[in-house]
């Protein structure tokens, strides 16, 4: 089964014929019931990251429950569409980017399942190369960018935005961490697909980011964005062949993965 985690404005993926599954986990309930449907020959599980009606802000999303629930249903490969701000004028609103690196600037988020056992996860390249290539081969998709993940729920100050850009980062987001590392801990392939909704505060003097504008821009692109995710799923083989994301080989874990 392939997973899709929808970001801000991406709350549905299937029609009324999809079945809804409620999953409980050791970390509580996920953001919403998971809907399961078909995309071509693939069975796909969809979960809206922020809840069905955006009940969860970025810093309150139950990330551990979300990822555990998907794994428990049989998901081993995840596409994670998300809204991002751009730190460079070269990536304007409407651009679709598949990041290859992230920088964590969050704080206080539960970001591991291994609170005991001395388990260390390889994370040098945080995204699955196989999933990334399925998206980057599609027309108009930008291959590669560093996404800095901020705590939220506020947007960056102009100075912070300029600092991130000066460090060489291209995208800014609030939800890409700890989602990516939790996927790696559960040995699930994971790739973000970023839709640029705005130029961040440091890019253009006098402009600032407003949530209403971000949501409006995302809605303008939501249908072609969903189609692109469907096309990416169609590029995947029936069975997972990636070994990059099997990080626990040869390691005895303190508990069994779901």
Query: In CATH, what number is assigned to the domain containing residue 135?
Result: 3.40.50.1580
Q: What angle do CA 207, 210, 214 make, to 5 degrees?
A: 110
The pLDDT of residue 168? 96
First to last CA, the chain: 14
Residue 216 φ/ψ region, left for φ over 0, alpha for ψ in the -120 to 50 degree band, beta for the rest:
alpha
Asked, for residue 100, whether it belongs to a domain, the answer is yes
Catalytic residue list contains 111: no
The pLDDT of residue 83? 92
Asked, for residue 257, whether it belongs to a domain, the answer is no
- Residue of 17, 111, 198, 207 marked catalytic: 198
The pLDDT of residue 207? 66
**Residue 49 known to bind ligand:** yes
Asked, for residue 12, whether it belongs to a domain, the answer is yes
- Residue of 17, 143, 200, 207 marked catalytic: 200
pLDDT greater than 70 at residue 206? no
Render pLDDT for 211-248 as a digit per residue (tens, 0 to 9): 777 777 778 888 999 999 999 999 999 999 999 999 99
**Residue 174 known to bind ligand:** yes
pLDDT greater than 60 at residue 119? yes
User: For the chain, what is the mean pLDDT?
Assistant: 93
Work out how many domains the chain is built from and give that number: 1
**Residue 175 known to bind ligand:** yes
Q: How many CB atoms neighbour CB 240 within 10 A?
A: 17
Asked, for residue 251, whether it belongs to a domain, the answer is no
H helices within 15-124, ranges in order? 63-73
Residue pointed to by tokens 């299937």 = 14
Catalytic residue list contains 125: no
Q: Which domain, by its residues, includes 192?
A: 2-235
- Going by pLDDT thresholds of 50, 70 and 90, the confidence category of residue 205 is low
Render pLDDT for 1-54 as a digit per residue (tens, 0 to 9): 999 999 888 889 998 889 999 999 999 999 999 999 999 999 999 999 999 989
The pLDDT of residue 253? 92
The pLDDT of residue 178? 98
């Amino acid at each position: 089964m392939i997973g899709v985690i929808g970001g801000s404005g991406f709350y549905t993926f299937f029609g009324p014929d999809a079945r809804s599954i409620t999953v409980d986990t050791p970390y509580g309930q996920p953001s919403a019931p998971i809907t399961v449907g078909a995309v071509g020959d693939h069975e796909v599980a969809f979960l809206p990251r922020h809840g069905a009606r955006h009940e969860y802000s970025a810093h309150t999303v139950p990330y551990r429950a979300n990822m555990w629930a998907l794994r428990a249903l049989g998901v081993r490969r995840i596409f994670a569409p998300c809204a991002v701000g751009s730190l460079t004028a070269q990536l304007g609103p409407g651009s679709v980017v598949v990041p290859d690196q992230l920088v964590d600037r969050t704080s206080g988020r539960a970001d591991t399942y291994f609170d005991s056992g001395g388990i260390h996860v390889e994370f040098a390249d945080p995204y699955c190369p196989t999933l990334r290539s399925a998206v980057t081969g599609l027309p108009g998709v930008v291959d590669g960018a560093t996404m800095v993940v901020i705590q939220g729920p506020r947007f960056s100050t102009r100075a912070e935005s300029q600092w991130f850009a000066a460090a060489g980062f291209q995208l800014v987001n609030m939800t890409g961490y700890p989602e990516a590392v939790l996927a790696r801990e559960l040995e699930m392939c994971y790739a973000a697909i970023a839709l640029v909704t705005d130029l961040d505060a440091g890019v253009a003097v006098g402009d600032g980011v407003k949530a209403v504008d971000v949501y409006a821009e995302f809605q303008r692109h939501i249908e072609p964005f969903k189609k692109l995710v469907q096309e990416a799923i169609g590029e995947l083989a029936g069975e997972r062949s990636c070994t990059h994301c099997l990080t626990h080989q040869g390691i005895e874990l303190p508990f069994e993965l779901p």
